[in-house]
Chain A
Amino acid sequence: MSLPPITNSLLAAGPEADLGLPPPHGWIGTADDWARGLGIAFVVLALAILAVSWGRLRRAGLTPGLKELLVIPLVVLPPAIVFFGYSYGIERSKSIGSCGSCHVMKPYLADLQNPDSSTLAATHYKNRYIQEHHCYTCHTDYGMFGTVRAKIAGLGHVARNLSGRYSLPLKIAHPYPNSRCLACHAESQKFRKSEGHPKEDLPKLFSGETSCIDCHGPAHPTVTREASR
């Protein structure tokens, strides 16, 4: 499947990239910017102190002053680095660029941005029904453990992509739950008043007996071979 150039440029730009306007940053930057900046600063500080300490150790051995200095890179900075690493890393992993960084996902991203596509994902993307984190929003359960489950599933995706243990076309691991659609749509007047959703059918939708995808699919194109590298 050949990709439109816009997708290649998106992927080349990395996970930061999106086709929309950049979100407002304000003059002071976002929490992401700060987590990244502070993380880099703490890593560089830790490495600098460790390098200086190593040199002193070789020259003069372990002195009381050096012991105290080592508390900074060995006790104080590691928790800070881990904290900012998670703050930044987990947030960035929600971007479509992060999902699209695996080669097998390229056709799905291309479809997402294809103005002629009528798949459910493309419709949501091009109309900006979801403002950001498009893949993540639809593929993560709501509730306390939704993110945790999504991250555990993500680890499995990374392992399979790395080992090549997957087959095309990709299939969703579990039936897509209606609750992910209904979290946004259930309370909207357009949904409630739609002739396609008569009141007597709503219980079936809410219980999952009828799948939203049955009528509104396909969610993504069927990709039977990988995009050319």
Chain B
Amino acid sequence: MSDVAGRARTPFLLRLSMVLAALGALLSLALFLHAGPYTLVVFMFLAQPLLLLAVALFAVQVLKDLRRERLL
């Protein structure tokens, strides 16, 4: 299957959730590697909301799938 076809079949919310989770994880890594006031602030106000948003978007996508398949 081509890349374009693969992307087309992948829900946008899921892809967005993956990107946000990766960004949140990378920003968290900065804190673990170099703990300081700035990395802590970035972790609290950027990384944590990104990870939370990633979880929420994944949950929305799962609910959508369940409704589409009439399991909910």
Contacts and interface: CB of A to CB of B under 8 A. Distances in A.
B55 A58 contact: no
Interface string B20-47: 0110111011011111111111011001
Interface of B: 1, 3, 5-7, 9-11, 14-15, 17-18, 21-22, 24-26, 28-29, 31-41, 43-44, 47-48, 51-52, 54-55, 58-59
Nearest to A32: B35
Contacts of B31: 39, 85, 88-89
Contacts of B25: 43, 46-47, 50, 73, 77, 81
Most buried by A among B5, B37, B47, B59: B37
Give the secondary structure class of B's interface. Answer: helix
A14 B35 CA distance: 9
A78 B51 contact: yes
Interface of A: 14-15, 36, 39-40, 43-44, 46-47, 50, 53-54, 57-62, 70, 73-75, 77-79, 81-82, 84-85, 88-90, 92-93, 98, 101-102, 154-155, 157-158, 161-162
